Structure 1
């Protein structure tokens, strides 16, 4: 699951989008922009559709602060988890799933990068 989410957020290493690799777009923080071709988008969408959220989050602590800690957030970011400990990650996984599902349905590429 971690590799799947990393690919969905970070793109494929060979998916460099050179026309976006300049100072006005990419400031050198993290990886440069990467392209996920329509086939990769469809692969990610299918894999996300197979994820069973209940099983994935079954061992997640109920406390938002404890859940944030398990996910690797430091004390300063633990307040970013709202609702129950499972609600925040579930909400974001569902959003990523729907994003990739829609992009795959339209045979679209996805450009990824952390800004």
Structure 2
């Protein structure tokens, strides 16, 4: 089973309802079921972008931003989401980014010139895949894959910031 990066946009009120459900239900089920339009799966793309940035010496602030966008913040008091109803439990439990953090991340993602970041990405698929830590066997255009998923993540954060939502991140 392949692991992928997952995101959910939720309101603080939704998280409180999930917390209450976890406290009141047998098995501590949080009643987690965000609408499909508020879920995003970026596959392995963002991890590959981060790996590429690290290997090419891109600005550390950019790497920290991307890492925070996919890893969330410590704390957040969402231990009730550490449940198989939310994720498979293979990797660390879900983490939270509150509305202020989401707004900051969205603003900073908007300032990334991805073409400049990927300017030296090799054009050969195997070389580009290796530069991103994907290894052999990657099919397709690595640059397009990275760009598509980065843009989706950036738009996802924009939407969450516009609506004052939190973002929950996890690996599944």
Give me the TM-score of the superposition, normalised by structure 2: 0.59
Q: Which runs of 4+ in 1 moved over 4 A?
A: none
Cα drift, residue 105 of structure 1 = 0.6
Task: Tell me the residue number matched to 2:164.
Answer: 107
Alignment RMSD, CA only? 1.6
Task: Tell me the residue number matched to 2:90.
Answer: 29
8 Å contact from structure 2 (residues 126, 135) kept in 1: no
CA distance in 1, matches of 2:98, 2:91: 21
Match of 1:94 among 145, 151, 163: 151
Cα gap change, 1:50/1:27 in structure 2, threshold over 3 Å: closer, same or farther? same
8 Å contact from structure 1 (residues 17, 35) kept in 2: yes
How many residue pairs get aligned? The number is 111
CA distance in 2, matches of 1:52, 1:28: 35
Bigger share in strand:
2
8 Å contact from structure 1 (residues 16, 32) kept in 2: no
CA distance in 2, matches of 1:110, 1:62: 34
2:145 alignment partner, SS class: helix
User: Where do residues 31-110 of structure 1 align in structure 2 (5 Å cutoff)?
Assistant: 31-76=92-137, 78-79=138-139, 82-83=140-141, 85-110=142-167
Structure of larger gyration radius: 2
1:14 alignment partner, SS class: coil
Give me the TM-score of the superposition, normalised by structure 1: 0.85
